[in-house]
Structure 1
């Protein structure tokens, strides 16, 4: 079968012929419907090297793709209650399976991560950028009659903002509340849709790209263009009191500093973007009881909620679909900034 392989550090991936996998005990073979191309993949093959601590879990060679969906093709030994042809989302992280974090479905925060052989599917273990994918049966979330190709990106681009929003609901409950989304790529656009569906808050969205802001406005956001006076315009929209919940999907120093300038007292800043920006904090400028935190991916229970939001029509990711023979173009377009929303490789389209 064809697969997009990460072959070495600082090396662009290749399409190779590899053997079709066979599911082991407790596993399922999926016929891949869609596999999202993510900036995290680009970081792995373009930015990372063997000297990074995380490299022990991501060392090549393996198939990329941690945003996946597919139809059941074959059941491994001991798997029951699932049927061939059914469509599922795939929860990508794989922890040890027996610590407290994994027991609540939060494999991303596995307490034994340091001794695990990989981080998840497409992250050290073969992922879904291939014709077929083997996954633990536990990691499947049903899609019903929903489009699995379009839905594939929800396993990261939907799950990650949902988890961050869910943890900030205390700040968003009730009337007169506001939320700010910084960065309107694939995750930020879905975050706007989720905030409109899950809260009564005024949703403010900001970016430097006019087309991204126009798309967010179509989803119900009030948009503010980046640049001079950005913070003042955001504060004006809140009547000067500040934003109750800020979601930064970029994570560079200027975006985190923007969040710090506009957050309200007792508000919450969640940094989701992993650009690694560093900022300062002090008692006298931080609004009283305003939180600054970060989140990473989400739980498998969260993914069930995301799938339900999608099936009910509350969220709709913007995707561009590539056939398998153009899979490398998806990554090239991602690197070159040509992808609005999310790129999806559909091996069987």
Structure 2
């Protein structure tokens, strides 16, 4: 079969023929419907070096946002029918620690001993015609479009987890939420906030087309620039926002979000651009907190899929056949994508 393989650090991945995998005990073989291209993929092959924390030794197939149809069941697997569509929960922990037992493999207590973090991150992922995954990681899609659903495995689940933890800050009238960065995750974050809260959602980015899409989903938009913070605070009547979500994670975006917080507000840094910022008792609004989150639980992915099937989340995707994967990644690297590129191996 054909697959997009990360073969060497700081080297662009290649499309090549590899052996089609066979499912082992407790696993299934999926015929891939779609696999989303993510900035994390770019970090894996372009930015990480051998031995660097967070890196995983190549070679392996990329693609941690995957959906597909059941093709074959491994030994001991029952309850699935060939052709049924599923979304894949990407994280793969040890399966038996407290975190994994609650469905949060991202925070696996034995992560340091694992040879991978997820499908597509150390373990062969979904940028291929077929992929093997544990049966426990499958979330049913029913008759929903599996290609459009693929990015929800990360671009939907990651902001959903962060927003769900912040919902107490947004309960009640007169609340404000801020989304910084309107790429694939930011656009979904706007939709989730609009569906789950009554808060006024403020969205900010440097790209006008991204802000236009956020506005179409109910956000009040503010362009980036020297007057950005002042404009955001003006919308809130000078008080600041109750919950902010930085989907970039660079130093300037973290500082912007911090400067917009109200007293007792909450900033969640979701993006992993590696930004560093300062904290001071005299500048931090009283009881305002800054935290970070990573991905989410499989239970939450079921909830994300329920929102997708109800029409509350509509991912903005660009579809590419497998032999044009390089075009998708080049556009992602250069910032030309505003939605999510999805590779469709069987187009």
TM-score (norm 2): 0.99
Partner of 1:20: 20
Q: Distance in 1 between matches of 2:265 and 2:77?
A: 45
- Whether 1:86 aligns to 2:81 is no
Of residues 254, 267, 273 in structure 1, which corresponds to 2:252?
Answer: 254
Deviation (angstroms), 1:158 = 0.2
- Whether 1:162 aligns to 2:143 is no
- Whether 1:271 aligns to 2:277 is no
Deviation (angstroms), 1:242 = 0.8
Of residues 146, 150, 153 in structure 2, which corresponds to 1:152?
Answer: 150
Q: Distance in 2 between matches of 1:15 and 1:235?
A: 48
SS at match of 1:334: helix
* Residue correspondence of structure 1 range 16-165 to structure 2 within 5 A: 16-55=16-55, 58-165=56-163
Q: Distance in 2 between matches of 1:279 and 1:306?
A: 31
Deviation (angstroms), 1:54 = 2.4
SS at match of 1:267: strand
Q: Distance in 1 between matches of 2:280 and 2:154?
A: 33
Q: Distance in 2 between matches of 1:328 and 1:231?
A: 37
Aligned residues: 347
Deviation (angstroms), 1:51 = 3.3
Structure 1's unaligned 5+ residue stretches are none
Q: Distance in 2 between matches of 1:53 and 1:264?
A: 34
Deviation (angstroms), 1:285 = 1.2
Deviation (angstroms), 1:209 = 0.5
Partner of 2:297: 299
Q: Deviations over 1:243-277 (max 9, x none)?
A: 00000011111111111111011110000010111
Partner of 1:194: 192
Partner of 2:288: 290
CA RMSD of aligned residues (A): 0.7
Q: Distance in 2 between matches of 1:233 and 1:39?
A: 29
Structure 2's unaligned 5+ residue stretches are none
Q: Distance in 1 between matches of 2:183 and 2:307?
A: 19
Misfit runs of 4+, over 3 Å: none
Q: Distance in 2 between matches of 1:267 and 1:33?
A: 40
Q: Distance in 1 between matches of 2:60 and 2:274?
A: 26
